[in-house]
Structure 1
Protein backbone atom coordinates (compact mmCIF):
# COMPACT_ATOMS: atom_id res chain seq x y z
CA UNK A 1 0.00 0.00 0.00
CA UNK A 2 1.43 3.39 -0.98
CA UNK A 3 1.30 6.52 1.15
CA UNK A 4 -1.48 7.84 -1.10
CA UNK A 5 -3.64 4.76 -0.44
CA UNK A 6 -3.28 4.80 3.34
CA UNK A 7 -5.95 6.80 5.20
CA UNK A 8 -4.86 9.60 7.49
CA UNK A 9 -5.49 9.26 11.22
CA UNK A 10 -8.20 11.39 12.84
CA UNK A 11 -7.42 14.88 14.15
CA UNK A 12 -5.75 15.15 17.54
CA UNK A 13 -4.94 18.10 19.82
CA UNK A 14 -2.26 19.45 17.42
CA UNK A 15 -3.93 19.46 13.97
CA UNK A 16 -1.90 17.57 11.39
CA UNK A 17 -2.43 16.27 7.89
CA UNK A 18 -0.16 15.22 5.05
CA UNK A 19 -0.57 18.58 3.36
CA UNK A 20 0.87 20.41 6.39
CA UNK A 21 3.62 17.81 6.76
CA UNK A 22 4.66 18.08 3.10
CA UNK A 23 4.60 21.89 3.24
CA UNK A 24 6.94 21.85 6.24
CA UNK A 25 9.24 19.30 4.60
CA UNK A 26 9.29 21.34 1.40
CA UNK A 27 10.40 24.47 3.23
CA UNK A 28 13.16 22.52 4.99
CA UNK A 29 14.35 20.99 1.71
CA UNK A 30 14.38 24.36 -0.05
CA UNK A 31 16.37 25.86 2.82
CA UNK A 32 18.95 23.13 3.31
CA UNK A 33 18.55 20.32 0.80
CA UNK A 34 17.43 16.77 1.47
CA UNK A 35 19.93 16.37 4.30
CA UNK A 36 17.91 18.99 6.19
CA UNK A 37 14.76 16.84 5.98
CA UNK A 38 13.88 14.24 8.57
CA UNK A 39 10.67 13.27 10.29
CA UNK A 40 12.09 14.67 13.53
CA UNK A 41 12.89 18.06 11.97
CA UNK A 42 9.54 18.21 10.22
CA UNK A 43 7.78 17.43 13.50
CA UNK A 44 9.74 20.17 15.26
CA UNK A 45 8.72 22.71 12.63
CA UNK A 46 5.10 21.70 13.17
CA UNK A 47 5.42 21.77 16.97
CA UNK A 48 4.40 18.13 17.10
CA UNK A 49 6.01 15.01 18.53
CA UNK A 50 7.95 12.93 15.98
CA UNK A 51 5.85 9.85 16.67
CA UNK A 52 2.76 11.76 15.56
CA UNK A 53 4.08 11.87 12.01
CA UNK A 54 4.29 8.09 11.71
CA UNK A 55 0.52 7.92 11.57
CA UNK A 56 0.71 9.85 8.31
CA UNK A 57 4.07 8.84 6.83
CA UNK A 58 5.82 5.56 7.58
CA UNK A 59 9.33 6.33 6.29
CA UNK A 60 11.52 9.18 5.09
CA UNK A 61 11.36 7.63 1.61
CA UNK A 62 7.58 8.11 1.63
CA UNK A 63 8.12 11.72 2.63
CA UNK A 64 10.50 12.18 -0.31
CA UNK A 65 7.90 10.63 -2.64
CA UNK A 66 5.37 13.17 -1.41
CA UNK A 67 7.86 16.00 -1.90
CA UNK A 68 8.54 15.00 -5.50
CA UNK A 69 4.84 14.73 -6.22
CA UNK A 70 4.27 18.17 -4.71
CA UNK A 71 6.79 19.71 -7.11
CA UNK A 72 5.36 17.78 -10.06
CA UNK A 73 2.29 19.98 -9.64
CA UNK A 74 4.51 22.87 -10.78
CA UNK A 75 5.54 20.92 -13.89
CA UNK A 76 2.03 20.41 -15.25
CA UNK A 77 1.12 23.18 -17.71
CA UNK A 78 -2.18 25.00 -17.36
CA UNK A 79 -3.03 24.50 -21.03
CA UNK A 80 -2.49 21.46 -23.21
CA UNK A 81 -1.19 21.57 -26.78
CA UNK A 82 -1.92 18.97 -29.45
CA UNK A 83 1.54 19.35 -31.04
CA UNK A 84 3.71 16.61 -29.53
CA UNK A 85 7.06 18.40 -29.75
CA UNK A 86 5.69 21.50 -28.06
CA UNK A 87 4.04 19.37 -25.37
CA UNK A 88 7.28 17.54 -24.53
CA UNK A 89 9.33 20.73 -24.81
CA UNK A 90 7.02 22.53 -22.39
CA UNK A 91 7.17 19.72 -19.85
CA UNK A 92 10.96 19.55 -20.10
CA UNK A 93 11.46 23.28 -19.57
CA UNK A 94 8.96 23.36 -16.71
CA UNK A 95 10.78 20.44 -15.07
CA UNK A 96 14.08 22.32 -15.37
CA UNK A 97 12.61 25.50 -13.88
CA UNK A 98 11.07 23.50 -11.01
CA UNK A 99 14.45 21.91 -10.29
CA UNK A 100 16.14 25.32 -10.24
CA UNK A 101 13.56 26.47 -7.68
CA UNK A 102 13.96 23.25 -5.68
CA UNK A 103 17.54 22.07 -6.27
CA UNK A 104 17.07 18.93 -4.16
CA UNK A 105 14.73 17.62 -6.87
CA UNK A 106 17.79 16.76 -8.99
CA UNK A 107 18.74 14.14 -6.38
CA UNK A 108 15.37 12.40 -6.62
CA UNK A 109 14.65 12.47 -10.34
CA UNK A 110 14.94 9.17 -12.17
CA UNK A 111 14.68 5.67 -10.76
CA UNK A 112 11.29 4.27 -10.00
CA UNK A 113 8.43 6.61 -10.88
CA UNK A 114 6.39 8.10 -8.07
CA UNK A 115 2.74 7.08 -8.00
CA UNK A 116 1.28 10.29 -6.66
CA UNK A 117 -1.47 12.09 -8.58
CA UNK A 118 0.79 14.79 -10.00
CA UNK A 119 3.53 12.38 -11.01
CA UNK A 120 0.99 10.18 -12.77
CA UNK A 121 -0.47 13.25 -14.50
CA UNK A 122 2.98 14.26 -15.81
CA UNK A 123 3.57 10.73 -17.11
CA UNK A 124 0.14 10.76 -18.74
CA UNK A 125 0.87 14.11 -20.39
CA UNK A 126 4.12 12.82 -21.88
CA UNK A 127 2.71 9.54 -23.13
CA UNK A 128 -0.50 11.06 -24.46
CA UNK A 129 1.50 13.64 -26.44
CA UNK A 130 2.84 10.76 -28.56
CA UNK A 131 -0.20 8.53 -28.44
CA UNK A 132 -1.22 7.32 -31.90
CA UNK A 133 2.05 8.39 -33.55
CA UNK A 134 3.71 4.98 -33.10
CA UNK A 135 3.26 1.67 -31.34
CA UNK A 136 3.23 1.77 -27.54
CA UNK A 137 6.76 0.36 -27.15
CA UNK A 138 8.20 3.06 -29.42
CA UNK A 139 6.27 5.74 -27.54
CA UNK A 140 7.55 4.49 -24.18
CA UNK A 141 11.15 4.44 -25.41
CA UNK A 142 10.77 7.91 -26.88
CA UNK A 143 9.51 9.25 -23.56
CA UNK A 144 12.32 7.43 -21.75
CA UNK A 145 14.89 9.00 -24.07
CA UNK A 146 13.56 12.51 -23.50
CA UNK A 147 13.43 11.93 -19.74
CA UNK A 148 17.02 10.63 -19.72
CA UNK A 149 18.24 13.81 -21.41
CA UNK A 150 16.20 16.12 -19.18
CA UNK A 151 17.31 14.43 -15.96
CA UNK A 152 20.97 14.29 -16.98
CA UNK A 153 21.02 17.92 -18.10
CA UNK A 154 19.31 19.10 -14.92
CA UNK A 155 21.67 17.15 -12.68
CA UNK A 156 24.69 18.58 -14.50
CA UNK A 157 23.42 22.14 -14.20
CA UNK A 158 22.57 21.76 -10.51
CA UNK A 159 25.97 20.17 -9.84
CA UNK A 160 27.66 23.22 -11.34
CA UNK A 161 25.55 25.57 -9.21
CA UNK A 162 26.47 23.61 -6.09
CA UNK A 163 30.15 23.68 -7.03
CA UNK A 164 30.01 27.46 -7.41
CA UNK A 165 28.55 27.82 -3.93
CA UNK A 166 30.95 25.30 -2.38
CA UNK A 167 34.07 26.92 -3.85
CA UNK A 168 32.88 30.51 -3.97
CA UNK A 169 34.04 30.62 -7.59
CA UNK A 170 31.74 31.53 -10.47
CA UNK A 171 32.18 29.75 -13.78
CA UNK A 172 34.36 32.61 -15.04
CA UNK A 173 36.39 32.65 -11.81
CA UNK A 174 36.98 28.90 -12.06
CA UNK A 175 38.01 29.18 -15.72
CA UNK A 176 40.54 31.87 -14.85
CA UNK A 177 41.89 29.81 -11.95
CA UNK A 178 42.11 26.61 -13.98
CA UNK A 179 43.29 28.35 -17.15
CA UNK A 180 47.06 27.98 -16.66
CA UNK A 181 46.81 24.25 -15.94
CA UNK A 182 44.55 23.67 -18.95
CA UNK A 183 46.70 25.82 -21.23
CA UNK A 184 49.81 23.83 -20.35
CA UNK A 185 48.00 20.57 -21.02
CA UNK A 186 46.66 21.75 -24.39
CA UNK A 187 50.07 23.13 -25.41
CA UNK A 188 51.46 19.59 -25.43
CA UNK A 189 49.42 18.81 -28.53
CA UNK A 190 48.07 15.64 -26.92
CA UNK A 191 44.47 16.91 -26.91
CA UNK A 192 43.75 18.45 -30.34
CA UNK A 193 39.97 17.95 -30.26
CA UNK A 194 39.74 19.39 -26.75
CA UNK A 195 41.97 22.30 -27.73
CA UNK A 196 39.69 23.14 -30.67
CA UNK A 197 36.63 23.02 -28.40
CA UNK A 198 38.25 25.30 -25.81
CA UNK A 199 39.64 27.90 -28.20
CA UNK A 200 37.08 27.84 -31.02
CA UNK A 201 33.86 26.79 -29.30
CA UNK A 202 31.10 29.22 -28.32
CA UNK A 203 30.26 29.51 -24.65
CA UNK A 204 26.48 29.71 -24.21
CA UNK A 205 24.25 30.07 -21.15
CA UNK A 206 22.71 27.01 -19.45
CA UNK A 207 19.18 27.68 -20.68
CA UNK A 208 20.32 27.85 -24.31
CA UNK A 209 22.42 24.74 -23.86
CA UNK A 210 19.43 22.89 -22.41
CA UNK A 211 17.07 24.06 -25.14
CA UNK A 212 19.48 23.16 -27.95
CA UNK A 213 20.15 19.68 -26.60
CA UNK A 214 16.44 19.11 -26.07
CA UNK A 215 15.68 20.06 -29.67
CA UNK A 216 18.32 17.59 -30.90
CA UNK A 217 16.74 14.84 -28.83
CA UNK A 218 13.28 15.72 -30.14
CA UNK A 219 14.66 15.68 -33.71
CA UNK A 220 15.90 12.15 -33.10
CA UNK A 221 12.54 11.12 -31.65
CA UNK A 222 10.77 12.62 -34.68
CA UNK A 223 12.99 10.63 -37.04
CA UNK A 224 12.27 7.42 -35.12
CA UNK A 225 8.52 8.10 -35.13
CA UNK A 226 8.62 8.68 -38.90
CA UNK A 227 10.40 5.38 -39.51
CA UNK A 228 8.08 3.57 -37.12
CA UNK A 229 4.96 4.76 -38.89
CA UNK A 230 6.30 4.10 -42.40
Structure 2
Protein backbone atom coordinates (compact mmCIF):
# COMPACT_ATOMS: atom_id res chain seq x y z
CA UNK A 1 0.00 0.00 0.00
CA UNK A 2 1.35 3.42 -0.92
CA UNK A 3 1.77 5.98 1.83
CA UNK A 4 2.42 9.76 1.75
CA UNK A 5 6.05 8.96 2.62
CA UNK A 6 6.83 6.57 -0.24
CA UNK A 7 8.36 9.20 -2.48
CA UNK A 8 12.13 9.22 -2.66
CA UNK A 9 12.39 13.01 -2.48
CA UNK A 10 10.19 15.27 -0.34
CA UNK A 11 8.34 18.06 -2.06
CA UNK A 12 10.93 20.67 -1.07
CA UNK A 13 13.70 18.82 -2.90
CA UNK A 14 11.83 17.89 -6.07
CA UNK A 15 12.26 20.30 -8.97
CA UNK A 16 9.12 22.08 -10.04
CA UNK A 17 7.66 21.02 -13.38
CA UNK A 18 9.19 22.80 -16.34
CA UNK A 19 7.28 25.90 -17.44
CA UNK A 20 4.79 25.18 -20.17
CA UNK A 21 2.89 27.27 -22.63
CA UNK A 22 -0.38 27.73 -20.77
CA UNK A 23 -2.72 30.63 -20.04
CA UNK A 24 -2.16 30.25 -16.29
CA UNK A 25 1.44 29.80 -15.06
CA UNK A 26 1.72 27.69 -11.90
CA UNK A 27 4.19 27.23 -9.07
CA UNK A 28 4.12 25.54 -5.68
CA UNK A 29 4.19 28.95 -4.03
CA UNK A 30 1.12 30.05 -5.99
CA UNK A 31 -0.72 26.81 -5.17
CA UNK A 32 0.13 27.11 -1.46
CA UNK A 33 -1.00 30.74 -1.36
CA UNK A 34 -4.43 29.88 -2.78
CA UNK A 35 -4.72 26.80 -0.53
CA UNK A 36 -4.02 28.93 2.55
CA UNK A 37 -6.64 31.46 1.51
CA UNK A 38 -9.24 28.69 1.15
CA UNK A 39 -8.27 27.07 4.46
CA UNK A 40 -8.41 30.43 6.24
CA UNK A 41 -12.01 30.83 5.09
CA UNK A 42 -13.31 27.27 5.17
CA UNK A 43 -10.89 25.29 7.36
CA UNK A 44 -9.04 22.15 6.35
CA UNK A 45 -12.29 20.25 5.86
CA UNK A 46 -13.21 22.74 3.14
CA UNK A 47 -9.89 22.44 1.34
CA UNK A 48 -9.67 20.36 -1.82
CA UNK A 49 -7.60 20.16 -4.97
CA UNK A 50 -10.73 20.86 -6.98
CA UNK A 51 -11.35 24.13 -5.10
CA UNK A 52 -7.73 25.20 -5.52
CA UNK A 53 -7.83 24.40 -9.24
CA UNK A 54 -11.04 26.39 -9.64
CA UNK A 55 -9.48 29.40 -7.92
CA UNK A 56 -6.45 29.13 -10.21
CA UNK A 57 -8.62 28.52 -13.28
CA UNK A 58 -6.81 25.30 -14.21
CA UNK A 59 -7.74 21.64 -14.40
CA UNK A 60 -7.32 19.68 -11.13
CA UNK A 61 -4.94 17.15 -12.73
CA UNK A 62 -2.46 19.89 -13.53
CA UNK A 63 -1.86 20.48 -9.81
CA UNK A 64 -0.62 16.93 -9.31
CA UNK A 65 2.51 17.79 -11.21
CA UNK A 66 3.40 20.09 -8.31
CA UNK A 67 1.99 18.21 -5.30
CA UNK A 68 1.38 14.47 -5.39
CA UNK A 69 -1.13 14.25 -2.55
CA UNK A 70 -2.89 16.15 0.22
CA UNK A 71 -0.02 15.54 2.66
CA UNK A 72 2.39 17.40 0.39
CA UNK A 73 -0.08 20.24 -0.01
CA UNK A 74 -0.40 20.59 3.77
CA UNK A 75 3.39 20.44 4.11
CA UNK A 76 3.74 23.38 1.74
CA UNK A 77 1.02 25.38 3.50
CA UNK A 78 2.51 24.76 6.93
CA UNK A 79 5.95 25.83 5.82
CA UNK A 80 4.58 29.13 4.51
CA UNK A 81 3.28 29.83 8.03
CA UNK A 82 6.63 28.79 9.52
CA UNK A 83 8.33 31.28 7.21
CA UNK A 84 6.47 34.04 9.03
CA UNK A 85 7.53 32.64 12.42
CA UNK A 86 11.14 32.27 11.28
CA UNK A 87 11.15 35.93 10.27
CA UNK A 88 11.01 37.24 13.85
CA UNK A 89 13.97 39.39 14.85
CA UNK A 90 16.70 37.53 16.71
CA UNK A 91 17.10 38.36 20.41
CA UNK A 92 20.23 38.53 22.54
CA UNK A 93 19.15 36.30 25.43
CA UNK A 94 17.88 32.74 25.14
CA UNK A 95 14.75 33.62 27.08
CA UNK A 96 13.81 36.56 24.88
CA UNK A 97 14.45 34.43 21.80
CA UNK A 98 12.17 31.60 22.94
CA UNK A 99 9.48 34.09 23.99
CA UNK A 100 9.57 35.82 20.60
CA UNK A 101 9.24 32.51 18.74
CA UNK A 102 6.41 31.30 20.98
CA UNK A 103 4.47 34.55 20.60
CA UNK A 104 5.03 34.58 16.83
CA UNK A 105 3.70 31.00 16.67
CA UNK A 106 0.57 31.98 18.59
CA UNK A 107 -0.01 35.03 16.38
CA UNK A 108 0.40 32.97 13.21
CA UNK A 109 -2.01 30.32 14.47
CA UNK A 110 -4.65 32.92 15.32
CA UNK A 111 -4.38 34.31 11.80
CA UNK A 112 -4.47 30.82 10.27
CA UNK A 113 -6.57 28.73 12.66
CA UNK A 114 -6.14 25.54 10.59
CA UNK A 115 -2.43 25.66 11.51
CA UNK A 116 -3.32 24.66 15.09
CA UNK A 117 -4.91 21.47 13.75
CA UNK A 118 -1.54 20.42 12.34
CA UNK A 119 0.50 21.03 15.49
CA UNK A 120 1.45 18.31 17.94
CA UNK A 121 1.83 15.46 15.47
CA UNK A 122 4.89 14.35 13.57
CA UNK A 123 7.61 16.99 13.20
CA UNK A 124 7.30 19.48 10.36
CA UNK A 125 10.45 19.24 8.25
CA UNK A 126 10.09 22.00 5.68
CA UNK A 127 13.02 24.45 5.40
CA UNK A 128 11.28 27.19 7.37
CA UNK A 129 9.99 24.75 9.99
CA UNK A 130 13.54 23.48 10.44
CA UNK A 131 14.77 27.07 10.78
CA UNK A 132 12.26 27.69 13.58
CA UNK A 133 13.24 24.41 15.21
CA UNK A 134 16.91 25.29 15.02
CA UNK A 135 16.38 28.75 16.50
CA UNK A 136 14.27 27.33 19.34
CA UNK A 137 16.67 24.49 20.14
CA UNK A 138 19.71 26.76 19.96
CA UNK A 139 18.09 29.24 22.34
CA UNK A 140 16.99 26.59 24.84
CA UNK A 141 20.44 24.99 24.75
CA UNK A 142 21.74 28.18 26.39
CA UNK A 143 19.28 28.02 29.30
CA UNK A 144 20.94 27.47 32.70
CA UNK A 145 18.91 24.33 33.40
CA UNK A 146 19.84 22.63 30.13
CA UNK A 147 23.07 20.72 30.72
CA UNK A 148 23.02 18.00 28.08
CA UNK A 149 21.08 16.66 25.10
CA UNK A 150 18.57 14.87 27.33
CA UNK A 151 17.76 18.11 29.12
CA UNK A 152 17.39 19.85 25.77
CA UNK A 153 14.99 17.22 24.45
CA UNK A 154 12.86 17.43 27.58
CA UNK A 155 12.85 21.24 27.51
CA UNK A 156 11.79 21.24 23.86
CA UNK A 157 9.09 18.69 24.64
CA UNK A 158 7.51 20.63 27.48
CA UNK A 159 7.71 23.93 25.56
CA UNK A 160 6.11 22.37 22.49
CA UNK A 161 3.37 20.75 24.59
CA UNK A 162 2.55 24.08 26.22
CA UNK A 163 2.50 26.08 22.98
CA UNK A 164 0.40 23.48 21.16
CA UNK A 165 -2.07 23.08 24.02
CA UNK A 166 -2.45 26.81 24.64
CA UNK A 167 -2.98 27.60 20.96
CA UNK A 168 -5.47 24.79 20.43
CA UNK A 169 -7.48 25.83 23.47
CA UNK A 170 -7.65 29.44 22.30
CA UNK A 171 -8.54 28.51 18.72
CA UNK A 172 -11.19 26.05 19.96
CA UNK A 173 -12.81 28.78 22.05
CA UNK A 174 -12.87 31.14 19.06
CA UNK A 175 -14.48 28.47 16.88
CA UNK A 176 -17.03 27.63 19.57
CA UNK A 177 -17.93 31.30 19.94
CA UNK A 178 -18.54 31.57 16.21
CA UNK A 179 -20.51 28.33 15.91
CA UNK A 180 -22.74 28.93 18.94
CA UNK A 181 -22.95 32.71 18.87
CA UNK A 182 -22.05 32.66 22.59
CA UNK A 183 -18.68 33.77 23.91
CA UNK A 184 -17.04 32.38 27.05
CA UNK A 185 -18.41 35.14 29.31
CA UNK A 186 -21.96 34.59 28.07
CA UNK A 187 -21.57 30.82 28.52
CA UNK A 188 -20.44 31.33 32.12
CA UNK A 189 -23.41 33.60 32.81
CA UNK A 190 -25.82 31.04 31.34
CA UNK A 191 -24.44 28.33 33.64
CA UNK A 192 -24.12 30.64 36.63
CA UNK A 193 -27.22 29.49 38.56
CA UNK A 194 -26.35 25.81 38.14
CA UNK A 195 -22.73 26.35 39.15
CA UNK A 196 -23.80 28.37 42.18
CA UNK A 197 -26.08 25.57 43.34
CA UNK A 198 -23.27 23.02 42.94
CA UNK A 199 -20.69 25.14 44.76
CA UNK A 200 -23.15 25.84 47.59
CA UNK A 201 -23.08 22.13 48.42
CA UNK A 202 -19.56 22.61 49.79
CA UNK A 203 -18.29 19.57 47.86
CA UNK A 204 -16.05 21.61 45.59
CA UNK A 205 -14.25 24.16 47.80
CA UNK A 206 -11.17 24.58 45.60
CA UNK A 207 -13.26 25.03 42.47
CA UNK A 208 -15.29 27.61 44.39
CA UNK A 209 -12.14 29.55 45.21
CA UNK A 210 -11.11 29.50 41.57
CA UNK A 211 -14.51 30.79 40.47
CA UNK A 212 -14.82 33.48 43.13
CA UNK A 213 -11.23 34.59 43.65
CA UNK A 214 -9.50 33.60 40.42
CA UNK A 215 -8.24 36.29 38.08
CA UNK A 216 -9.96 36.47 34.69
CA UNK A 217 -7.00 37.08 32.39
CA UNK A 218 -7.37 37.57 28.69
CA UNK A 219 -5.80 34.92 26.40
CA UNK A 220 -2.70 36.96 25.62
CA UNK A 221 -1.97 37.62 29.29
CA UNK A 222 -2.59 33.97 30.12
CA UNK A 223 -0.26 32.79 27.36
CA UNK A 224 2.49 35.18 28.45
CA UNK A 225 2.16 34.29 32.15
CA UNK A 226 2.17 30.54 31.57
CA UNK A 227 5.07 30.75 29.13
CA UNK A 228 7.03 32.61 31.85
CA UNK A 229 6.23 29.79 34.28
CA UNK A 230 7.54 27.20 31.80
CA UNK A 231 10.76 29.11 31.18
CA UNK A 232 11.25 29.66 34.91
CA UNK A 233 11.04 25.90 35.39
CA UNK A 234 13.62 25.26 32.69
CA UNK A 235 15.93 27.81 34.27
CA UNK A 236 15.60 26.54 37.83
CA UNK A 237 16.23 22.94 36.92
CA UNK A 238 19.94 23.70 37.22
CA UNK A 239 19.55 24.56 40.92
CA UNK A 240 17.53 21.40 41.58
What TM-score, normalized to structure 2? 0.91
Per-residue CA distance 1:195-217 (angstroms, 9 max, x = gap): 11101111111100111100000
Give the root-mean-square deviation of aligned CA atoms.
1.4
Q: Which residue in the other structure is 1:8 paired with?
A: 16
Q: Which residue in the other structure is 1:211 paired with?
A: 224
How far apart are the structure 2 equivalents of 1:28 and 1:176? Answer: 35
Gaps of 5+ in 1: none
Aligned residue for 2:31, secondary structure, equals helix
Q: Which residue in the other structure is 1:19 paired with?
A: 29
- Cα pair 2:94 2:142 within 8 Å, conserved: no
Pairs within 5 Å for 1:24-103: 24-103=34-113
Q: Which residue in the other structure is 2:153 paired with?
A: 140
- Cα pair 2:98 2:140 within 8 Å, conserved: no
- Cα pair 2:32 2:76 within 8 Å, conserved: yes
- Cα pair 2:31 2:52 within 8 Å, conserved: yes
Q: Which residue in the other structure is 1:157 paired with?
A: 170
- Larger helix fraction of residues: 1
1:170 aligns with 2:183: yes
Per-residue CA distance 1:3-34 (angstroms, 9 max, x = gap): 11122111231311101100000100111111
How far apart are the structure 2 equivalents of 1:129 and 1:109? Answer: 21
How far apart are the structure 2 equivalents of 1:227 and 1:138? Answer: 14
- Cα pair 2:88 2:101 within 8 Å, conserved: no
How far apart are the structure 2 equivalents of 1:195 and 1:81? Answer: 42
How far apart are the structure 2 equivalents of 1:181 and 1:159? Answer: 24
Query: Aligned pair count?
Result: 227
1:36: how far off?
A: 1.6
How far apart are the structure 1 equivalents of 2:223 and 2:87? Answer: 19
Q: Which residue in the other structure is 1:190 paired with?
A: 203
- Cα pair 1:82 1:129 within 8 Å, conserved: no
How far apart are the structure 1 equivalents of 2:166 and 2:187? Answer: 20
Aligned residue for 1:44, secondary structure, equals helix
- Cα pair 2:88 2:100 within 8 Å, conserved: no
How far apart are the structure 2 equivalents of 1:227 and 1:145? Answer: 18
1:227: how far off?
A: 4.5
1:199 aligns with 2:209: no
How far apart are the structure 2 equivalents of 1:142 and 1:164? Answer: 33
